[in-house]
């Protein structure tokens, strides 16, 4: 009798070790899939019941054999597997919103980083364009208004440059908008300087944005 009991425990332990990871993974994955769809966008609500059915069906096809086989080998192993399945489902249910929030944060961070890099490149181009009026003697003579802060357009340009520089250092989320504002004010200041110097405007329309 003792030998039979020991053999049953031994077989049950092996069944738990072999089927336990499969059961836990399948239950956790199924709960995660169902929870993710429930927390996802509501625009495709008509497809949710069908998707929910297939999530549960596929999860059950893996989880039920992994639960039934150990239970047939040993009753206590079936209880252990059932407890593990319930724990995995509860853990996945609570962890899914946190994971989705973390994933969304990572995606938003990558988007902001890409936008910041593009804005930095454009910012550098605008600064090079502006320095031409400060460092090139011919441009200083042709466009003196661009260094005259008494003009509203030039004053607005200097303020936009200061704002963009500050936000670039802090890597602020509004930095791309500040660079766009700098481009617009630089274009406006160039047009005002050309009018003041009596020079026909040569600036392409797309540089105004």
Pull the structure tokens for residue 32.
Answer: 């995660």
pTM comes to 0.59
Q: Decide: helix, strand or coil at residue 161.
A: helix
Indicate if the alpha-carbon torsion angle 143, 145, 146, 147 is positive or negative.
positive
pLDDT in 10s for each residue of the chain, 209 residues: 444 444 445 555 767 777 888 888 999 999 998 888 888 766 555 556 778 778 888 888 888 888 888 777 777 787 888 888 899 999 999 999 999 899 989 998 898 889 999 999 999 999 999 888 888 888 878 788 888 888 899 899 999 999 999 998 876 789 999 999 999 999 999 888 888 767 665 554 444 44
Dihedral, CA of residue 7, residue 27, residue 60 and residue 68, to nearest 10:
10
Please calculate the CA angle 157-162-166 and round it to the nearest 5 degrees.
150
Who contacts 99 (Cβ-Cβ below 8 Å, separation ≥6)? 32
Cα distances (Å, whole numbers) of residue 101 to 40, 42, 205? 11, 17, 42
């Amino acid at each position: 009798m003792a030998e039979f009991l020991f053999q049953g425990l031994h077989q049950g332990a092996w069944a738990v070790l072999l089927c336990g990871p499969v059961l836990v993974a399948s239950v956790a994955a199924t709960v995660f899939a169902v929870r993710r769809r429930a927390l996802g966008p509501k625009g495709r609500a008509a497809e949710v019941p069908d998707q929910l059915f297939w999530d549960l069906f596929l999860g059950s096809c893996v989880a039920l054999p992994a639960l039934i086989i150990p239970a047939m080998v040993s009753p206590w192993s079936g209880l252990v597997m059932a407890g593990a399945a319930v724990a995995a489902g509860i853990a996945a249910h609570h962890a899914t919103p946190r994971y989705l929030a973390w994933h969304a944060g990572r995606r938003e961070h990558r988007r902001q980083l890409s936008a910041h890099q593009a804005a930095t490149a454009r910012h550098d181009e605008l600064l090079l364009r502006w320095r031409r009026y400060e460092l090139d003697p011919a441009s200083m003579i042709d466009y003196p208004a661009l260094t005259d802060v008494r003009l509203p357009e030039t004053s607005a340009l200097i303020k936009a440059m200061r704002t963009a520089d500050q936000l670039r250092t802090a890597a602020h989320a509004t930095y791309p908008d500040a660079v766009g504002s700098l481009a617009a004010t630089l274009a406006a200041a160039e047009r005002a300087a050309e009018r003041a110097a009596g020079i026909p405007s040569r600036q392409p329309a797309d540089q105004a944005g």
